[in-house]
Chain A
Amino acid sequence: MPKKIVAEKITKAFPSPRGTIVALRDFNLDVEDGEFMCIVGPSGCGKSTFLRILAGLLPVTSGQYVIHASPDAPEGKPLNNVVFQEYAIFPWKTVLDNIAFGLQMRGIGKQERYEIAREWIRRVGLTRFEDCYPHELSGGMKQRVSIARAFANDPEVLLMDEPLAALDAQTRAIMQTELLRIWESDKKTVVYITHSIDEAVLLGDRVVLMTARPGVNKACYDVPFERPRDLRLTATAAFAELSYSIWESLQEEVKKAMEEQLQ
């Protein structure tokens, strides 16, 4: 498989009144084309920082990364689009216009972009809501809009920053299944940040574990389960075993992060 994303020795330091804070140090990641890559780490380990760097929203302090465009990419195909944790869909645009936003910015005509947007509205199950404004939607529906906005723009890679973290447990379970279904029909390269090991193992092809701050590579796990997957997978012994072995490795980092907070 060709490499889609290659990030080498990414270091990110933030200046602060109490000296420099190193969020990431020499972090490496490569993601294959069509791979669902999950990154798990304790709170504050710099995983969101890494995603923002990949998205071009933050400059690196040192290191380099590249997102390879596919050779047959049409003109104007974006390299990445982000699904934000806070949804970040625009309250002043309808569901339809939110989902068509990226296409509109690329200069695609009204009829064509609405056609594409409507198809994604159908796929995320919001058909009756295309003329609604976000304040009329629940949290789960807002995140559907946010996910559809990213898919509709058809980027080379999708970057998801804890997209389901703000939802309640039951809505999250539904959205995980939906995300699997949508992704499996599309097989887009995904980098998915989460703090939930179960979610990472359920969704991902590989799970990369980060240490407490500064975030460096700690381990990488292959997730061997067959696709298509659904929530039933979480009830199997193999799933529990893999989740637990990741947790064993993660927990010392979580403790480290907690101790640092206490100081």
Chain B
Amino acid sequence: MKGSKSLSAWQKILIGVSVLLVCDLLFTLLGLWKKQWIIAVGINFVGIALIFQWLQAYVPPRRLKAYERSLAIGFPIVMLATWELLVRAGILSATWFPPPSRVAQALWEVATEYNKFTKTSLLGRPWLIPDMYSEQGWQGVVTLFQESHLWATLMRVFLGFLAGAIPGLVVGVAMGMSRTVRVMLDPVVSAIYVIPKITILPLMMLIFSPFGEMYKIVTVAIGVFFVVLINAMTGVMQVDPIFIEAGENYGAHGFQLFRHVIVPAAMPVIFAGLRLALGTALIIIVAIEFVRAKSGVGFLTWYYWEILNPPKMYAGLIVIMILGVVLTYGLQWFEGIVMPWRRRREQRVVLEIPEG
């Protein structure tokens, strides 16, 4: 094809769309959708991606953001719709891959329908909220929510995270600032750091009784502790010496130097550690709830595996996903408050202003 270089984007798009349609028609006729579905899906994805890339040439620059956003939102919706269609067409098994509509319905049931075995639901007994509110006000609503699976998991993650992150910060910063402390503790920390923290669960049950919440919270806390510690130490050690020199030259010593120079300089790495630790905390809590708990989102997912209810297992996954996203956003919001200088990074245009 000699003339291919001079094709305009519109022509490319037209050709792309028709080639894709012909391919799909062929796949359907040959029955490849069932046998070679990986190849069929792959070709379709590449084709669609190419078409949207060519289409971008026609998007006016001020619409580019909106265009990208609609792609980012639109594509997952298309994926879910494809999933739904594939199941309804009988290509994907509805047993192992229940369609999104079925999962959504299961999510609603899990969230609001009282389960006799677990004696509550994901959100507790939300149908009692109006009564409780009129009787006891917000206090009553909170009490009601406290019996839910979501609350159980949230509390374990929250308490475990705090109980691990605060000492982790203190010890990590101390190790970053003092070479002696670092030399003393580093072998111990490095050795324990590599242990997958879920392995200490039996030990924690031995130490803190295998009943109640304590051993769960402590296991989460220990997992969080080491991740936060390592990052806090690295953050402090990576502070550019020029900032410390400048701080000292302008009269900051001891605590002032710590508060005005070392802590803010180490903050970005510390927050990266907190984000990692949040992920660790979720992994640990879900694992604990799988094996030991009688409440919590992890327990719920495991329970629906035991009674073989795939749509509700998917619902459990979605709740954990939402939990992770919400907690991460919460942490980012907190980050923006603590580190205002990291906000609005790309927004302002820098200009060299002339004198006068």
Footprint of B on A, CB under 8 Å? 52, 55-57, 78, 80-82, 84, 86, 88-94, 101-102, 104-106, 125-126, 128-129, 132-138, 140-141, 149, 153, 171, 174, 178
Q: Give the docked Cα–Cα distance between A233 and B127 (Å).
A: 85
A141–B251 alpha-carbon span in the complex (Å): 23
Q: Is B348 an interface residue (CB 8 A)?
A: yes
Q: Are A88 and B352 in contact (CB under 8 A)?
A: no
Contacts of B265 in A (CB 8 A): 90, 92
Which residues of B sit under 8 angstroms from A92, Cβ to Cβ? Answer: 264-265, 267, 339, 341
Q: List 14 A-B contacts (CB under 8 A).
A: A86-B242, A88-B243, A90-B243, A90-B260, A90-B264, A92-B341, A93-B341, A102-B251, A125-B353, A136-B350, A138-B351, A138-B352, A171-B352, A174-B355
| Contact between chains at B242 and A105 (CB < 8 Å) | no
Contact B339 A57 (CB under 8 A): no
List the A side residues contacting B348 at CB < 8 Å: 132, 136
Please state if B242 and A81 are interface contacts (CB–CB under 8 Å).
no
Return A184 CB to nearest CB of chain B, in Å: 15
What per-residue 1/0 map shows which CB atoms of B107-149 lie under 8 Å from chain A? Answer: 0000000000000000000000000000000000000000000
**Tier of interface size on chain B:** 20 to 34
The answer to whether residues A57 and B355 also contact, given A105-B250, A136-B348 and a CB cut-off of 8 A, is no
Set of chain A residues within 8 Å of B339, measured between Cβ atoms? 92
- Across the interface, do B352 and A140 meet the contact criterion of CB distance under 8 Å? yes
| Residue B248, interface by CB 8 Å | yes
B contact residues around A55 at 8 Å (CB): 249
What is the chain A residue whose CB lies nearest that of B248? Answer: A57
Scan B258-269; emit 1 where CB is below 8 A from any A CB, else 0: 001100110100
Closest to A177 in B: B355
Chain A residue contacts of B245, Cβ below 8 A: 52, 57, 82, 84, 88
Chain B residues whose C-beta falls within 8 Å of the C-beta of A132 in the assembled complex: 348
* A6: min CB distance to chain B, Å: 20
Taking a contact as CB atoms under 8 Å apart, the answer to whether A141 and B352 are in contact is yes
With A92-B264, A133-B341, A135-B341 already in contact, the answer to whether A153 and B355 are too (CB < 8 A) is: no
Distance between B349 CB and nearest chain A CB, rounded to angstroms: 9
For A181, give the chain B residue with the smallest CB separation: B355
Q: How far is the CA of A101 from the CA of B256 in the complex (A)?
A: 11
Most buried by A among B243, B245, B251: B251
Q: Other CB < 8 Å A-B pairs besides A57-B248, A101-B250, 13 of them?
A: A57-B245, A78-B251, A84-B242, A88-B245, A89-B246, A90-B246, A94-B341, A105-B256, A135-B341, A136-B350, A138-B351, A138-B352, A178-B355
* B residues 327-353 touching A (CB-CB < 8 Å): 339-341, 345, 348, 350-353
Give the residues from 226 to 278 in chain B that come closer than 8 angstroms, CB to CB, to chain A.
242-243, 245-246, 248-252, 256, 260-261, 264-265, 267
Q: Which residue of chain A is the closest to B356 with respect to CB atoms?
A: A125
List residues of chain B with CB within 8 A of the CB of A56: 249
Residue of A nearest to B261 (CB): A90
Which chain A residue lies CB-closest to B253?
A: A105
5 residue pairs, one from A and one from B, having the closest CB atoms? A105-B251, A92-B264, A88-B246, A102-B250, A133-B341
Determine the distance from Cα of A135 to Cα of B340 in the docked complex, in whole angstroms.
Answer: 12
A107 to B250, CA, bound (A): 12
- Complex Cα distance A132/B343, Å? 11
Instruction: Known contacts A105-B251, A105-B252; decide if A137 and B350 are in contact (CB<8 Å).
Output: yes
- Chain B residues lying within 8 Å of A78, measured Cβ to Cβ, are 250-251
**B335: min CB distance to chain A, Å:** 13
Interchain CA distance A130-B42 in the complex, whole Å: 53
Q: Establish whether residues B350 and A81, one from each chain, have CB atoms under 8 Å apart when the complex forms.
A: no
A59 to chain B: closest CB distance in Å? 13
In the assembled complex, the CB of B268 is this many whole angstroms from the nearest CB of chain A, namely 10
Closest beta carbon of chain B to A141's beta carbon, Å: 7
Which of the listed residues A86, A134, A136 has the most CB atoms from chain B within 10 Å of its own CB? A136
Contact A135 B250 (CB under 8 A): no
Do the beta carbons of A125 and B355 come within 8 Å of each other? yes
Which single member of B250, B267, B350, B352 contacts A153 (CB below 8 Å)? B250
CA distance A129 to B261 in the complex (A): 22
Q: Which residue of B lies closest to A107 (CB)?
A: B251
Tell me if B355 and A81 are in contact (CB < 8 A).
no
Among B242, B250, B261, B353, contact of A149 (Cβ-Cβ < 8 Å): B250
